[in-house]
Amino acid sequence: MPHGVLFRGGKERDIRKGMINDDRLEAVIGLASNLFYGTGIPACILVLRGTDPRRADRKGKVLFINADRELTAGRAQNYLDPQHVEKIVAAYHEYADIPGFARVVNVDELADNDFNLNIRRYVDNTPPPEPQDVRAHLHGGVPIAEVDAHAARFAAYGIDVRSLFAEAERSPGYLDFPVNGWQPVADAIPTMTTAKKQELDDAFTEWWDRHVKHITELPELGPGEVMNTRRDLLTSFVAALEPLGTLDRYQLAGVIASWWGDVQYDIRTLSYRAFSGVVQGWLTTIEAAFETDEDDARDKQRLAAEKRRAREHSAVPLLIPDYLTALEEAEARKADLDAQVKAATAKPDEDEEDPEDDVFEQGVSALELKKLRADLAEAKREIKHLENDFLTRLRARVTSLDADTEELLVRHILKADLTKRLEAQFASGPRVLYNRYRKWATKYAVPLLELESKRSAAEATFSAYLKDLGYA
């Protein structure tokens, strides 16, 4: 529904009052704007129950979830990805307070607010204002209180935040930036997280080795166990990695949810047709990109992009690495020869005196230029031959695989995909820490008194310059 139904008066207010007094409204979920086709306004979801009694622990309560920041921004439209859905659904099932995201509100409070269900009234996710210390702005230094407020976030990545500063000898309660400046320290923050990254990698590898059986046993268990597999993987993944303190449970659940959203069809295929069916499915997907041959020039670019994506399928480097090496070498040779030909045939600069239209002006004879063009044509033919031979090589390699190799291939690709997502989630942390340290620097690294001193010096220099010119 549009958000207006949450707060408009008149009959809509009476409807809200009736639903709440009858204990039919279970949750109100606010979503981001521009998620739906045809409208850019934000929407909300009202979860209503029928006439059956609600659970005892939820009677007389309404859960508010403010998920207007859960989105992936797109050019024309925003998207609700699996990790966002997982966070919203987990909060709904938990039915508990989550600071800045969810809150359970008693019906009495709703009645006191005249049954106004405006989500921000109950769950405000507006970031707190950036604190400003006047003394630090005037005299320099970073307030210890501000630094300690972010100590837990830095500690989660293995960094003692106070170690990034020097003690301010003449300013109790404040810290100074290092003598060599704040920028080298900020640049070193990602390196400081290496130990935590290794700890996370080791824990992930141990988890995968223990729980990959949930995937490998699916061919025997059948399709009915697919969703149970998802639940088991998500639950155990969060339980194994959350104690490290680096990523919270919602970030970890989001990693699994986004991964599952991409591989779920492979998992379902695995449950029906074993590992061979998954590998054959990948081959079929790749072949489909090469089957269409449109004559329409408008489609050539699109088809070329589809073929390129097909060659970049994660299974291709593992199945035919020699082919990819040969193709990369041929493309590099073609690019080099193309650059040489363009340089040899470039027209001389019009500003040059006595320009000559002879290739000798570029240091290449006509015979050498002919040889370059012949080599370029040969490189293009080689690339075309390799491209035409791509499917033949790939089919032959897939046909030669035995059952054990197929299982190893599928397991490797599934793990690599999940590893990449976990690493991306981890990498967002050091960026946040860098930006936090940089924020302190932009506020306090140069105090007002120093700025005024520099301004006075610049003003004196400029005045002297004007005097020399005779303007003052």
The ranges assigned to domains in the chain are 3-122, 134-194+430-448
Q: What is the pLDDT of residue 296?
A: 52
pLDDT, tens digit (0-9, with 9 covering 90-100), for 379-414: 999 988 888 889 999 999 999 999 999 999 999 999
Mean pLDDT of the region 294-315: 76
Cα–Cα distance, 159 to 246 (Å, whole number): 11
Sheet arrangement for strand 102-106: 44-48, 25-30, 61-66, 102-106
| Model confidence at 306: pLDDT above 90 | no
pLDDT, tens digit (0-9, with 9 covering 90-100), for 40-69: 899 999 999 988 888 899 999 999 999 999
In CATH, 3-122 is 3.40.50.150: yes
pLDDT, tens digit (0-9, with 9 covering 90-100), for 326-380: 988 998 999 999 888 888 887 666 555 554 444 444 566 888 888 888 988 999 9
Angle at 371 between CA 368 and CA 373, to 5 degrees: 115
Residue 231 near residue 242 (C-beta atoms within 8 A): no
pLDDT, tens digit (0-9, with 9 covering 90-100), for 202-257: 999 999 999 999 999 999 999 999 999 999 999 999 999 999 999 999 999 999 99
Averaged confidence pLDDT in the chain: 90
Any residues with CB less than 8 A from the CB of 431 and at least 6 apart, and which?
none
Cα–Cα distance, 159 to 168 (Å, whole number): 20
| Model confidence at 283: pLDDT above 80 | yes
User: Which amino acid does the sequence have at 96?
Assistant: A
Q: What is the pLDDT of residue 360?
A: 42
Give me 428's structure tokens: 């967002």
| Model confidence at 187: pLDDT above 70 | yes
The full 3-state SS of the chain, as one line of letters, equals CEHHHHCCCCHHHHHHHHHHHCCCEEEEEECCCCCCCCCCCCEEEEEECCCCCCCHHHCCEEEEEECCCCCECCCCCCECCHHHHHHHHHHHHHCCCECCCEEEEEHHHHHHCCCCCCHHHHCCCCCCCCCCCHHHHHHCCEEHHHHHHCHHHHHCCCCCHHHHCEECCCCCCEEECCCCCHHHHHHHHHHHCHHHHHHHHHHHHHHHHHHCHHHHCHHHHCHHHHHHHHHHHHHHHHHHHHHHCCCCHHHHHHHHHHHHHHHHHHHHHHHHHHHHHHHHHHHHHHHHHHHCCCCCHHHHHHHHHHHHHHHCCCCHHHHCHHHHHHHHHHHHHHHHHHHHHHHHHCCCCCCCCCCCCCHHHHCCCHHHHHHHHHHHHHHHHHHHHHHHCHHHHHHHHHHCCCHHHHHHHHHHHHHHHHHHHHHHHHHHHHHHHHHHHHHHHHHHCCCHHHHHHHHHHHHHHHHHHHHHHCCC
Pairing type for strands 61-66 and 142-143 reads unpaired
Mean pLDDT of the region 425-431: 95
| Model confidence at 116: pLDDT above 50 | yes
